[in-house]
Chains A and B, each alone.
Chain A
Amino acid sequence: MAVAAELPALDALGPAGAYHARERQTITDVAGNPLAELSLVPSLFVTRAMAALHKAATMPVDERLAALARAGDAHAMGSVDGVSPADHQFIVSRCSGMPISVVRSASEAIARSAAQAYLSVQHARPVGAVNHWRDPLTRTGRAVWTRRGDVFAVHAPGNHPGVHGLWLEALALGYRVAVRPSRRDPFTPHRLISALRTAGFGDDQVVLLPTGYDTADAILRGADLAMAYGGEDVMRKYATQTKMLPQGPGRSKILLTADVDWRDHLDVIVASITHEGGRACVNTTAVFVEGDTTPVAQALAERLAAIPSLPPQDEHAVLPVLPMADAHELERYLLAKAAGTVPWLGGDGVVDELGDGSAVLRPAVHELDRPDAEQAGIELSFPCVWVAPWTPEAGLEPLKETLVITAITHDTRLVDALVAEPTISNVYVGDHPTYWIEPGIPHDGYLADFLMRTKAVIRD
């Protein structure tokens, strides 16, 4: 306990300022060393915080956009609560096991999202709608783009710090926002919300509510609209709730048709698998090949095998790191699921222990013998790819339920079909990695599609 008392405190950020709870959880790095004590707020605190968000007034749009930009700058380049960006990024890397270069890029991406949040959400506004009822066009009748509610809640994941760029759009649109952090990375949202407050957002505009599992739903219940990240279970739980936007598995894919030479695109394929530590929903889970799958699997295995095992804070780290027990559990799962496939890499295991209690998850490449093999849908949070055969006869079926598909093909009729398929969110044609994204480009539809509606207005 004496050691724990000296740990930095990561307080909740409530509607009346920072809140240091008696109930706390020690946040550790991937080797099990304590990093901070995270305050866990009780359900009563959550319901009162959510009520305070509802009562708060929306900041004028100019002020919130300026504050967003300042906060993004401070998050990526300034000192927040006395912590420099380098120290913050080091801790996020040690805690989440994400390579530090990815953490740094994510900080920069968050700053870009903050600066361009308005521009980004404007892309989602229907062309027939204006932003304000005072717009002169409403005099002859017009759609006005308005919020569906006032309070937005986010159950944030800890897989990638970049996810916190998205909910900034809700702030830009005038929502008050409550974030429940993941214990795998409470540092990023804590820093970002502290920066937002310093930049001008009131304590009752954006809150950080770390809670135990049993209290987590109270945050969603207290919001008008909410977003939760998770697997199939989370998708099922919230599928029928119109106020929920579940963010499910990505299962991103690359399709290589016979009219292209895959060798020309190996860099994009490898990067799609390994970029972001292989931990993002936009990382490629399966590569479909029209033709012989074996040389593709072999080439990928060769390239991926050359990536070194390094601790996450190493500048050259590419692969993700986990506490040893978690890494072994993931490995057991992979080995069980991969039974019956042809292993090209990682068939004997993927865990490379670093000796300090943490372990690198090394890449895995498995070759499947059918387009509809179930493994092609198994998305794991490290560079793990399934190489499967594809034929025009197999058609769209194996390519469905996909966040991003990169189709390296000249077949425009196939592209027509991919773009038309409702269960595919994004279609990238040609030499573009599955992780490509920019402000103003929808990640899984525009978030504003969910947050906004149109309303008819006509006036004298």
Chain B
Amino acid sequence: MLQREKPVLDVAFDVHPDPDEFIRAAMEWHFSPTTGSPFWLERAKSLEFDPREHVRSFEDLTLFPNVTNELRDVRAQDLIPQGYGPHPEVVGVFESGGTTGAPKRVVMLRDWWDRMMAWQVAHLHAHGVPRDRNWLVLIPSGPHMAGELTRRQAAELGGLKFAIDMDPRWVKKLIAAGKADEANAYAEHLIDQAVFVLQTQDIGVLMSTPPLLERLARRDDLVELVRQKVQTIEWGGAHMDADSRHLYRTEVFPGLTLDGNYGSTMVLGGAAERLDLTDDDPCIFDPFSPYITFSVVDPDSGRKVAYGERGQVVMNHVSKAFLLPNNLERDVATRIRPLGGQVGDSVADVTPVQRFDDETVIEGVY
């Protein structure tokens, strides 16, 4: 039986619980011997503080060490809070991209999945994503969250999802080995498959990553098909700068809606692009607060940078289903003032820092 002793953890997606009350309830849930996960109960023994006593607000989440790397080895069942009872409803086990070594794993539980989905669908409606249109999705499938997420999104909006299989780890391996030609061939293989779906099916929504969108934009035949059929392009998984967004909207796919997503497996979801941005605004992402929260910090001092300044993104996931606080990601972003009612920061221009030269070259005249 699902224990329902913490109603503040069970509110509807569009209700904003009081942040401090929410945090205290979550700490109580995750660190109580009867409801907490085996992973956190064991981990709590080596913490230098008592989360139930000392973590009273979102600011206090910084007391936690970053345990993200431990998710590479932990037994997945041990991540499930015992409060869900002996037969928790699991949507899936999802893995990180695997950029650096072994993948990290999270367990997606039904109640969180439904809440996040409700929030996302509301967002898609707000952005004018059409109903009853089919989706063509070129993003990582397999053990990655994105594939399952888009399947559900398409269904919620009344469409079918057509998928192209994509293995991001293989691409990263090829690039790391300097096999640019093979990585290129793989990406072209993905685009080739999109042709068949776009030619034969009624596709209204295209979901992909900015690098694949750019590849697609190089092919005149595909650009023409997208212009004829697609109304909304959903993108995520990589950075899109304001210049590129403007080029897509005005030159490549005039009249189409572009809607960005910034997600991470480690927060079991992510952030959605803010509505009504101007052409000159960067792509701003607002997280699904208070469950998913960001702060943009100076990695050396750990302090928040000023609004408008660049810093590294710290992510927190706090929900009934999962706890992963104080996770310093490798992403660099601009800190943006949040909208009313949101806990933590919004972010923009999530990217590695733009570099003009690779490094200082000393020898030689060039």
Contacts and interface: CB of A to CB of B under 8 A. Distances in A.
Interface of A: 21-23, 25, 40-45, 47-48, 51, 157-160, 183, 212-214, 229-234, 247-250, 279-281, 283, 326, 329-330, 333, 378-381
A280 B365 contact: yes
Contacts of B248: 44
B361 A23 contact: no
Contact of B365 (A40, A45, A232, A281): A281
A431 to B, nearest CB: 24
Interface in B235-268: 241-244, 246-248, 251-252
14 contacts: A22-B241, A23-B354, A45-B247, A48-B218, A214-B352, A214-B355, A230-B364, A247-B366, A249-B363, A250-B365, A280-B365, A326-B360, A378-B363, A379-B364
Contacts of B357: 183, 213
B365 A42 contact: no
Given A43-B244, A45-B247, A48-B218, 17 more contacts: A22-B243, A23-B242, A25-B356, A42-B241, A42-B244, A42-B247, A43-B211, A43-B214, A213-B355, A231-B366, A232-B363, A233-B361, A248-B364, A283-B365, A330-B362, A378-B363, A379-B364
Contacts of A280: 365
A45 B243 contact: yes
A234 B359 CA distance: 13
A363 B218 CA distance: 50
Contact of A381 (B214, B241, B364): B364
Given A22-B280, A213-B355, A44 B244 contact: yes
B360 A159 contact: no
Among B214, B248, B364, max chain A CB count under 10 A is at: B364
Contacts of B354: 23, 25, 40, 212, 214
B307 to A, nearest CB: 14
A212 B366 contact: no
Contacts of B244: 42-45
A329 B360 contact: yes
Interface residues of B, number: 27
A9 to B, nearest CB: 14
B217 interface: yes
B66 to A, nearest CB: 27
Contact of A159 (B214, B243, B365): B365
A51 B218 contact: yes
A10 B355 CA distance: 18
Contacts of B218: 47-48, 51
A405 to B, nearest CB: 17
B300 interface: no
A212 B364 contact: no
A44 B360 contact: no
A355 B230 CA distance: 60
B361 A231 contact: yes
Contacts of B360: 326, 329
Nearest to B217: A44
Nearest to A214: B355
A156 to B, nearest CB: 9
Nearest to B247: A44
A134 to B, nearest CB: 33
B364 A231 contact: yes
B358 interface: yes
The prevalent SS among residues of B at the interface is loop
Given A40-B354, A329-B360, A379 B243 contact: no
Contacts of A231: 361, 363-364, 366
B318 to A, nearest CB: 34
Interface in B338-366: 352, 354-358, 360-366
A157 B366 contact: yes
Contacts of A42: 241, 243-244, 247
Contacts of B362: 329-330, 333, 380
Interface of B: 211, 214, 217-218, 241-244, 246-248, 251-252, 280, 352, 354-358, 360-366
A307 to B, nearest CB: 19
Nearest to A47: B218
A160 B364 CA distance: 13
Nearest to A16: B251
Given A22-B243, A42-B241, A42-B244, A379 B365 contact: yes
Most buried by B among A22, A214, A279: A22
A23 B241 CA distance: 8
B258 to A, nearest CB: 12
Contacts of B361: 230-231, 233
B242 A22 contact: yes
Contact of A229 (B214, B241, B247, B366): B366
Contacts of B246: 22
B243 A41 contact: yes
Contacts of A157: 365-366
A45 B363 CA distance: 32
A395 B244 CA distance: 57
Contacts of A234: 366
Contact of B356 (A213, A326, A330): A213
A157 B361 CA distance: 12
Contacts of A381: 364-365
A395 B217 CA distance: 57
A244 B280 CA distance: 37
Contacts of A230: 361, 364, 366
A158 to B, nearest CB: 8
Ranked nearest first, the 10 interchain pairs of A and B with the lowest CB-CB distance are: A231-B364, A157-B366, A229-B366, A212-B354, A213-B355, A42-B244, A381-B365, A44-B244, A159-B365, A333-B362
Nearest to A280: B365
B363 A380 contact: yes
A159 B363 CA distance: 12
Contact of A21 (B211, B243, B252): B243
Nearest to A251: B364
Contacts of B364: 230-232, 248-249, 379-381
Contacts of B356: 25, 40, 183, 212-213
Nearest to A231: B364
B365 A279 contact: yes
A231 B361 CA distance: 8
A55 to B, nearest CB: 10
Contacts of B247: 42, 44-45, 48
A232 B366 CA distance: 11
